[in-house]
Amino acid sequence: MIGEQRTGAIDGVRIQAVAHEGLSVTVNGKPAELAIIVDGKVIAAGAAVAREAEAVAVNCHRNFLKGQGHLRVLSEPIKRAA
C-alpha cells in the first residue's frame, strides 16, 4: 500500500534517513549504532551495517518502482567486525 509507514515504535530511539547522508540512529538524543547480533554476539556494527541496510532498502524500492517484481533483495555478507 502506498503511504506513510508508522514509525516511533521504540521509546527513545530515532532512526533517521537522509537521501544524501544515509541512515543514522540516536537513543535519547545521543548518537548510536546499528548492529547485527546473533546469540548475544555482535557480528557487525556501526556505519557498515547502516550502509548495508540502506542499500538493501533502496534496491528493494527501486526494483518495485521498475516493476520487476523482485520484492526480496539480499545483501552480500558483511565483513565481521575486528
Better-scored residue on pLDDT, 16 or 76? 16
What pLDDT, in 10s, does the model give residues 40-70?
A: 999 999 999 999 999 888 888 887 788 776 5
* 78 contact partners, CB below 8 Å, separation of at least 6: 36, 43, 44, 48, 49, 52
Give dist(CA 35, CA 43) in Å, integer: 7
Q: Where are the domains of the chain?
A: 13-65
**What is the band of 81 on the pLDDT scale with cuts at 50, 70, 90?**
low
What pLDDT, in 10s, does the model give residues 2-45?
A: 788 888 899 999 999 887 888 899 999 999 999 999 999 999 99
